[in-house]
Amino acid sequence: MNHTMKAIVLGASGLLGQALMREWTGDEVIGLTSRDADIRQPDVIRAVIEKAQPEWIVLSAAYTDVDGCEKDPERAFTVNRDGAVNVARAAKQAGAKLLFLSSDYVFDGTSKSPYEVDAARNPQSVYGRSKAEAEIFLLEILPQCCIVRTAWLFGTGGKCFPDTILKLAGSRPVLDVVNDQCGCPTYTIDLAKAIIQLCRKDASGIVHTTNSGDCTWFEFAREIVTRADLSTEVRPTSTQQMARPAPRPAYSVLSATSLRVYGVTMPAWQDALARYIDERRVSISANH
């Protein structure tokens, strides 16, 4: 007889939160948005967790606008670091386990081979710093917590890179996309399934969780346009030519070693992208 778990998903209206709520069946799962429970308010979070008495808390609520964080560091740290600390303290008090979503942006991008979980943190952006500091605090408060670092997240139900590319490709003959940043595109559905497995397996410590394989943003965009049968030309450009407020790591491929320890495997990003495009078509036609 499988034991039914009680879990809380914080950030249930976000890209990943929506996928978690959809994929997580067979357990009692409470999805909370920032309107239900603002992680910046320790008393609110404590009361919610105290009342629900969950076995697991998945913290996917965050301020994820990387360039926005660069312009508003105060908000970035208040939500991403201090908010996470509030949740960790409340989890500790209630005896709940915590799974925290972190990012490839905790690394500086100078590596030439996939990052293992024990690689040194050296974030170059405000967003990356806010996540790196959260990790350090969380491991102090709850040494058994699980930190899932992921990257290049995409999925239906909000803004993401493939959605932007598909919208632009509809109106432009040519798209210039950076070809000197390499990472691992990750589909929210696949990430959600992996997170559910990690909770069921009582995972702890840092786990790198992305779809398998890697590519540059240019290669990702080219694949998006090809799979969607669009005729838009995608051209490679450099980071320097596409100046953005926040610096991005040039190489932030995450190694799957830590995930394999739990017997969890992730499909290739190309396979994930094909399923995303199908899912997006269905959701667009459903909304018309």
Exposure on the CB side of residue 258, measured as CA atoms within 13 A: 23
The mean pLDDT value for 206-234 works out to: 97
Calculate the average pLDDT of the chain. 97
- Residue 286's pLDDT is 85
Hey, what are 226's tokens? 């090809």
Residue 283 confidence (pLDDT): 86
- The per-residue pLDDT for range 97-118, each reduced to its tens digit, is 999 999 999 999 999 999 999 9
* Predicted TM-score (pTM) of this structure: 0.97
- Whether the per-residue pLDDT at 47 is higher than 80: the answer is yes
Find out whether 186 and 272 touch, Cβ atoms under 8 Å: yes
Question: Helices 161-169 and 269-286, interaxial angle, to 10°?
Answer: 60
Q: What sign for the dihedral angle of Cα 66, 72, 77, 83? A: negative
The answer to whether 55 and 6 have CB atoms below 8 angstroms apart is: yes
Predicted local distance difference test score (pLDDT) of residue 2: 67
- Does the domain spanning 6-286 belong to CATH 3.40.50.720? yes
The pLDDT confidence band at residue 287, using thresholds 50, 70 and 90, is confident
Q: Residue 46: what pLDDT?
A: 98
Average pLDDT value for residue range 243-269:
96
Of 112, 18, 1, nearest in space to 58 by CA: 18
Q: Residue 1: is its pLDDT beyond 60?
A: no
Ranking 27-31, 154-158, 201-205, 240-244 by mean pLDDT, the lowest is: 240-244
Q: What is the pLDDT of residue 204?
A: 98
Interior angle at CA 254, CA 23 and CA 124, nearest 5: 110
* Residue 187 is a catalytic residue: no
Provide the pLDDT for residue 197: 98
Q: Please check the confidence at residue 285 and state whether its pLDDT lies above 90.
A: no
- Determine the average pLDDT of the residues in 177-186: 97
Taking the CB of residue 85, how many other CB atoms lie within 10 A of it? 17
What are the residue boundaries of the structural domains of the chain, listed by start? 6-286
pLDDT band at residue 243 using 50, 70 and 90 as cut-offs = confident
Tokens encoding 269: 């990003």
Catalytic one of 63, 105, 115, 127:
127
pLDDT digits (tens, 9 = 90+) for 78-100: 999 999 999 999 999 999 999 99
Residues 83, 40: contact at Cβ < 8 Å? yes
> Which pair of structure tokens corresponds to residue 277?
């495009």
Whether pLDDT at 221 is above 70: yes
- The percent of residues in the chain predicted with pLDDT above 70, rounded, is 99
